[in-house]
């Protein structure tokens, strides 16, 4: 942020102009390459009695098929409420968020209302720490962030990714995610909609799977469903 704030106005404008030439908003529905983009918005307001609650988290993995490409996915985390404080990843470019969701690109959205149900205990953090150098690094980052935050927090991003690779641990609703001009999102439920939203999960099983994968990654072993 310091680097961004110190850039002179003319250089900043030139960078924005250059980025503008890469705008592919009108071609989003042509995406066929398997990807897992993820954005982070914090709250999803219920716009109607049929609205579910989605918000977002970032990942960079995509399941692939040997026979054909997997559909593009967006892992997100969301939560609902009558009044919403929308975070930076949506507010920094509301128009882009609107374009991505309106394009009908298949999106898998895991809400903060769900991810916050998984809070790792100190015993579970200690188990991560005991998994070697990777575990020690991750546990230190978890504790440091919790100290800064002043309270325990949930592993939102990993849970959003886990929903894509272990869907049997989650319950989904189907529909369209809408983003209004204020950056507030809502879900219109439709059986044939392109967006799949997590509406329930198994907290204990999700926490166990996260720990298992961290420890297996430390020893470089492929992780298979338990």
Residue at 164 is within a domain: yes
Nearest Cα to Cα of residue 105 among 74, 77, 78, 76: 74
Is position 190 within any domain?
A: yes
Residue 19 is assigned to a structural domain of this protein = no
Task: Determine whether 31 is exposed, middle or buried from the number of CB atoms within 10 Å of its CB (0-12, 13-18, 19+).
Answer: middle
CB 118, CB 153: distance < 8 Å: no
How many independent structural domains does the chain possess? 1
- 198 located within any domain: yes
Domain span at residue 73 reads: 33-119+154-218
User: Tens-digit pLDDT profile for the chain (226 aa)?
Assistant: 566 667 788 887 887 777 777 777 677 667 665 544 443 433 333 333 233 333 333 333 333 333 444 444 444 444 433 333 454 566 778 888 888 889 888 888 887 778 889 999 999 999 999 988 889 999 999 999 999 999 998 998 899 889 989 999 999 999 998 888 888 878 899 999 999 888 899 999 999 999 999 988 876 554 454 4
Where in the chain does DSSP place strands (E)? Answer: 75-76, 107-110, 170-179, 185-189, 195-201
Are 201 and 155 spatial neighbours (Cβ–Cβ below 8 Å)?
no
Rounded to whole angstroms, the Cα distance separating 53 from 33 reads 28
In a domain, 27, yes or no: no
Q: For residue 141, tell me if it sits in a domain.
A: no
Cβ-contact 49, 107 below 8 angstroms: no
Residue 91 covered by a domain: yes
Assess if residue 103 is contained within a domain.
yes
């Amino acid at each position: 942020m310091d680097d961004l704030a110190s850039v002179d106005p003319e250089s900043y404008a030139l960078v924005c102009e250059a980025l503008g030439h890469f705008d592919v908003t009108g071609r989003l529905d042509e995406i066929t390459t398997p990807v897992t983009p993820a954005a982070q918005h914090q709250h999803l307001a219920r716009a109607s009695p049929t609205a579910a609650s989605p918000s977002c988290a970032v990942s960079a993995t995509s399941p692939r098929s040997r026979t054909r490409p997997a559909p593009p996915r967006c892992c997100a985390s969301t939560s609902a409420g009558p009044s919403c404080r929308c975070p930076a990843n949506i507010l920094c470019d509301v128009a882009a968020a609107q374009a991505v969701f309106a394009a009908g690109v298949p999106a898998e959205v895991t809400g903060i209302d769900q991810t916050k149900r998984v809070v790792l205990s100190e015993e579970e953090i200690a188990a991560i720490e005991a998994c070697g150098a990777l575990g020690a690094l991750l546990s230190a980052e978890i504790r440091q962030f919790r100290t800064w935050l002043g309270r325990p927090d949930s592993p939102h991003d990993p849970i959003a990714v886990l929903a894509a690779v272990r869907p049997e641990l989650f319950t989904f609703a189907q529909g369209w995610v809408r983003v209004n001009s204020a950056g507030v999102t809502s879900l219109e439920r439709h059986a044939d909609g392109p967006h799949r939203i997590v509406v329930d999960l198994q907290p204990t099983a999700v926490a166990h799977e996260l720990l298992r994968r961290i420890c297996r990654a430390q020893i470089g072993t492929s992780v298979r469903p338990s």
